[in-house]
Amino acid sequence: MKIRHSSRVIWDVVDGQTTLCDLESGEIFELTETGALIWKACDGSSLEEIVQSLRETYSDAEPERIAADANGFIYTLERAGLVQIEAETAAPGQGD
């Protein structure tokens, strides 16, 4: 699965703070440092790629905890309509 920002969200980083704005609801979201790392990785990356990046950043944290927290945060973003999770399709000639 590939995770992408929703087209209804604009975002910016000001003074180190990542802020999202849902254009449909007008709701504003301020992300933590880790939330911002995950958000920035939602550019078509897979959950596995995002978790691996976080494991490299937070090498002293438990890998299972990183995966669980990242999965939970991405699920929260999806429920809020801030990201879209796209199923990966097989390349032509594969999976036949």
- The CATH number for 35's domain is 3.90.930.60
> 28 in a domain, yes or no?
yes
Range of the domain at 22: 2-86
Note the pLDDT of residue 36. 97
Tell me how crowded residue 45 is: count the other CB atoms within 10 A of its CB: 18
Residue 93 domain flag? no
Query: For the whole model, what pTM was predicted?
Result: 0.86
In-domain check, residue 55: yes
Q: Looking up tokens 């939330």, which residue turns up?
A: 35
Residue 25, domain member (yes or no): yes
What CA–CA distance (Å, rounded) separates 11 from 19? Answer: 6
Residue 77 placed within a domain = yes
Distance CA 79, CA 86 (A): 14
Number of structural domains found in the chain = 1
Q: Which residues pair with 85 in a beta bridge?
A: 3
Give the model's pLDDT for residue 41.
96
pLDDT along the chain (96 residues), means of 10: 96 96 96 96 96 96 96 96 85 57
Indicate whether 32 belongs to any domain. yes
What is the predicted pLDDT for the residue at 95?
54
Confidence (pLDDT) at 38: 97
